[in-house]
Amino acid sequence: MNARERLIVGLDVPTLGEAEQIVSTLGDDIVFFKIGYQLVFAGGLEFARDLAQSGKKIFLDMKLLDIDNTVASGVENIVKMGMSMLTLHAYPKAMKAAVEAAKGSELCLLGVTVLTSMDEQDLIAAGYEYDPHTLVLRRAEQALLAGMGGVVCSAEESAAVRKIVGPGMAIVTPGIRPAGSERGDQKRVMTPADALKAGSSHLVVARPIVKAPDPKEAARAILAEMEAAL
């Protein structure tokens, strides 16, 4: 894969109008977009389907978690939408149900290990007995055993996760920040070049591109950094 196939631009904006403008501005430079809760609840599902039909790749970031039958039913319909990637929380039963539902399709299922906005104190407050690194590795191993297409983790854990899942699974890393950019609410971040060198296969970048004065130039700079690293 080249840099264009590895860079996923997060359409983390409140309205369809803004999302459409970003996609138009970025043009052919960007082929992969992430659509999450914010845009989904503003009509983003139809937009995601339209983008997929136009030839773009869509990472639907829904972080599904429910009883097995509900997860499976949701995944079956998402397959029909033509999405390229879908997230669900990396709970073993949910992952197994999703894998069975997506069997035979091209949908890449991603297990979310630990959110990049969470650190050790956040996990303790949530009742977990593991530190972030340990929990990420445990869930990565469970995702591998379940037959998932990949995992979502911080780039800080990419190298360790790659040793567990091997070369075949996707490692998608949010919390990517070019040198000099603000962290925002992310606590475990890394630059694009360092993330690729650590073992990440796909990088999710939102604010550094969509909030930039010139989104197209910001995207091209990140792509250039990625190409140099590759």
Active-site residue identified among 57, 61, 96, 187: 61
214 is catalytic: no
The residue with tokens 């997506």 is 102
Specify the pairing of strand 150-152 against strand 170-173: parallel
On whether 69 is known to bind a ligand per the annotation, the reply is: yes
Which of these is catalytic: 56, 63, 211, 216? 63
Nearest to 45 by CA among 91, 87, 77: 77
Q: Which of 66, 194, 211, 216 is catalytic?
A: 66
**Which residues is 202 bridged to in the sheet?**
172
Q: Is 139 annotated as contributing to ligand binding?
A: no
Binding site annotation covers 77? no
Any known ligand binding at 62? yes
Tokens 């669900």 belong to residue: 88
Residue 70 labeled ligand binder: yes
Query: Binding site annotation covers 12?
Result: yes
Whether 66 sits among the annotated catalytic residues: the reply is yes
Does 107 count as an annotated binding residue? no
34 marked among binding-site residues: yes
- Tell whether 191 is in a known binding site: no
- Binding residue ranges for substrate: 12, 34, 61-70, 116, 177, 186, 206-207
Catalytic residues: 61, 63, 66
- Binding residue ranges: 12, 34, 61-70, 116, 177, 186, 206-207
